[in-house]
Amino acid sequence: MGSRSRLAGFVGAAALALLAAAAHAQNAPPAGTVVDGSLKGKTLTFVSYGGIYQDGQVAALKEFVDKSGVKLLNDGPTEIAKLQAQVESGNVTWDVVDTDDFPPFVHCGKLFQKLDLTKLDISHIPPGQVGECSVPAMNYRMVLMYKNDTYKDNPPKDWKDFFDTAKFPGTRAIDGSGSPLGGLIEQAILADGGKVDAMTPADIDKGIAKIKAIGPDTIFWKTGAESQQLAESGEADMIIMWTGRAMTAVKNGAAYTPVWKDWLVVMDQLTIPVGAKDTDASYALINAYLGKKSQEILTEQTSYSPINNEAQPKVDASVAAFLTNTPDHAKLGYQQNIKFWVANFAAASDKWTALMAGN
Amino acid sequence: MSQTSHTPTAGGDHPRPPGAVRAPQRRLRLAAYPSLLAMPALALLIAAMGYPLLTVTLRSFSDPSWGLQNYVWFFSTPVNVTVLWRTFSIAAWVTIVCVIAAYPYAYLMTAVGPRLRLVLILCVLVPFWVSGVVRTLAWVILLQDSGIINSVIRLLGFDGVKLIRTQTGVVIGMAQVLLPFMILPLYSVMRGIDLRLVQAARSLGARPARAFLQIYLPLSLPGVFAGAIIVFILSLGFYITPALLGGPRSTMLSTLVQSQVLSLLNWGRGGAMGVVLLVATFVLLALAAPLMRQRHKQASRS
């Protein structure tokens, strides 16, 4: 019984495990494949946020619908409270739900199913984006846009400048449409001289205080359309915008320039609710959605970045300027500490709401 | 209602075929129970208002566990109390602005000829048919710093005024949305006022201002109160207009409820906020009721 035989046994076990993993992975057809007529007579309800975004998603799923024979119904906008009501009453009519960043983590296992990743091909999703209960639906970013007229030759270069109202006077507009902006609070803590590696809930107060210190004229916009309107009419000197909206505003003549350093990575998530009627069909939809071609269509129609790293959407220069997956943009991105914000979601939301309400 | 139903029996001395006698009797019986006629509305209210209200109230005491924790949370969180107070103060301002704007308008409606009156009514109703969001966005364009109002002010050589993202902006926008609810009750009351009473006062030597204050105004007060109550109560629940026209300092309670329920799934806390608002409104109306009743009596006496 030498150590050699033990080693051999170990190697053998490892090889077996690898084989098993490979066999497992084979269960999931490559992302984007659809079996002809596989879902004939079935109905799936896809829920997202409407507008140009959901239209693009439906276009991305067209091949899946045509080939599999499924009937695709659309609903929206996604509201977690509605989903909770469905799950509690045991009558879940939603099959695949597109949500924003945090809910799948906050309600994992309670409202959203833990995903069986053997049923999905996640090999082309950018690293670090698959959650226990979610895969990404698309990437976008919170981009800091500054008004050319206001800052001329001395524009803000990073978030420190955003918080420096002495050097860079002017009104700021911040995304106040929903969940707290973890990334922005982290940048506020950094601008305040703090550290974010070991954040505590007390740091949230510091970050929020820093945001509040920008002054009473801060605008918290409530909808993407509102942010676009602010840019197109030149109301604010710096605006935090979603890339899709920023691109459209610039196309419509808004004289604003994006700041690339530490753009905030944000994503939408795809989830399957607890109690969904036909989970296999839901998995099939998501797997088709993750495919190269679907992601290309999604980006071409919405300007949001694809989450399949092989996708090569054909877009014109104005759209390409706002994509987040080009190499020189990708390396400048700032990833918020999702774990921390999920663990402190309630406290952060209460404080964020109080900030919104002027307290 | 009962008066009109009595007429068939009053006219019963006409000869009738014997079979037809029962019909008026049945109609009479129905008239004796007017509450029966209210059944459809009552059923609808119970299903669409009563039951949900009961659930909301119940959940405010039971979610996540039985007790008063949601109410303790409400009153121990400064932002809630501030916003509750702000909600009532904005609603009061909107009501005042509506009364001031609607009163002369409604009076004009009673004073002009039928064709012009139709135009005036349309002016009230047409914006009423446009969605509130559209109207609010129109106000954004008018009120913003680079908007039409400020451009004109600057063109005239003055400094711009801050209108959007202030409480003033919210009050302006809400008052416009709610104006029909003030004008229509006022108009319906004013239409019933006999203008000869004012003439009589004038002929007895009252100056126009006095005739108005002593005769016309008291008679029109029921309309003012009816409109004011509708406008005030509707303002309390406003959501879109303060969100789009207001800044952080004009957030109203509905926004906080929305954030508790929709993003935090705290149905209990959201429910407690709703119940607090409801109870506060009832208390306020109960306090105002004796005053209104007295005015009403005075009005009907004169």
**All domains in chain B, ordered by first residue:** 70-301 (1.10.3720.10)
A226 vs B244: CB contact, 8 Å cut-off? yes
Residue A23's pLDDT band (boundaries 50, 70, 90)?
very low
A178 inside 8 A of chain B by CB: yes
pLDDT at residue A150 above 50? yes
Q: Which of residues 193-232 of A touch B (CB under 8 A)?
A: 216-220, 222, 226, 229
Encoded tokens for A206: 């510091």
Q: Token digits for B172?
A: 């302006």
Q: Quick one: pLDDT at residue A183?
A: 92
Is B76 touching A (CB cutoff 8 A)? Answer: no
Q: Is it true that A31-139+268-330 and A140-266+343-356 share their CATH fold?
A: yes
pLDDT at A61 over 50: yes
pLDDT class of A178 with cuts at 50, 70, 90: confident
Within an 8 Å CB–CB cutoff, is residue B116 touching chain A?
A: no
Contacts of A220 in chain B (CB under 8 A): 247-248
Tell me the pLDDT tens digit for each residue of A241-263: 988 889 889 999 999 999 999 99
CA dihedral (A202, A204, A207, A209) positive or negative: negative
Q: Sign (positive/negative) of CA torsion A271, A272, A273, A274?
A: negative
Minimal C-alpha gap between A282 and chain B (Å): 25
Where chain B has pLDDT below 50, the residues are: 1-21, 302
Exposure of A195 in the CB half-sphere (CA atoms within 13 A)? 2
Evaluate if residue A42 carries a pLDDT over 50.
yes
Q: Does A34 touch chain B (CB under 8 A)?
A: no
pLDDT of the residue at B29: 64
What is the model's pLDDT at position A329? 83
Cα–Cα distance for residue pair B3/B5, rounded to 1 Å: 5
Which one has a higher pLDDT value, A274 or A49? A274
* Facing residue for A179 by CB, picked from B243, B256, B263: B263
B157 phi-psi bin (left φ>0, alpha ψ -120 to 50, beta other): left
Give the A window 83-112 contacts with B, CB below 8 Å. 84, 107
Structure tokens at B160: 């711009």
Q: Looking at A19-23, A353-357, B77-81, which range is the least confident one?
A: A19-23
pTM for this entry: 0.80
For residue range A203-214, list pLDDT tens digits in order.
999 999 999 999
Instruction: Calculate the alpha carbon distances from A208 to A102, A237, A359 in Å.
Output: 19, 21, 11
pLDDT at A24 over 50: no
pLDDT tens track for A81-96: 999 999 999 999 999 9
Q: Min CA distance, B253 vs chain A (Å)?
A: 9
From 1.10.3720.10, 3.40.50.620, 1.10.150.130, 3.40.190.10, which CATH number describes the A140-266+343-356 domain? 3.40.190.10
How confident is the prediction for chain A on average, in pLDDT? 88
Whether A359 has its CB under 8 Å from any CB of chain B: the answer is yes
Residue A224 confidence (pLDDT):
85
Which residue of B lies nearest to A349 if distances are taken between CA atoms? B264
For the beta carbon of residue B26, count every other beta carbon within 10 angstroms: 9
Q: Which residues of B touch A355 (CB under 8 A)?
A: 248
Q: What CA–CA distance (Å, rounded) separates B9 from B12?
A: 5
CA-based nearest residue in chain B for residue A354: B79
CATH of domain A31-139+268-330: 3.40.190.10
Q: Is the dihedral of CA A263, A214, A239, A353 positive or negative?
A: positive
Distance from CA of A329 to the nearest CA of B (A): 31
Distance CA(B249)–CA(B86), nearest Å, equals 9
Strands A135-147 and A238-242 come out as antiparallel
Enumerate the domain spans of chain A: 31-139+268-330, 140-266+343-356
The angle, 0 to 180 degrees and rounded to 10, between the axes of the packed helices B267-301 and B51-62 is 130
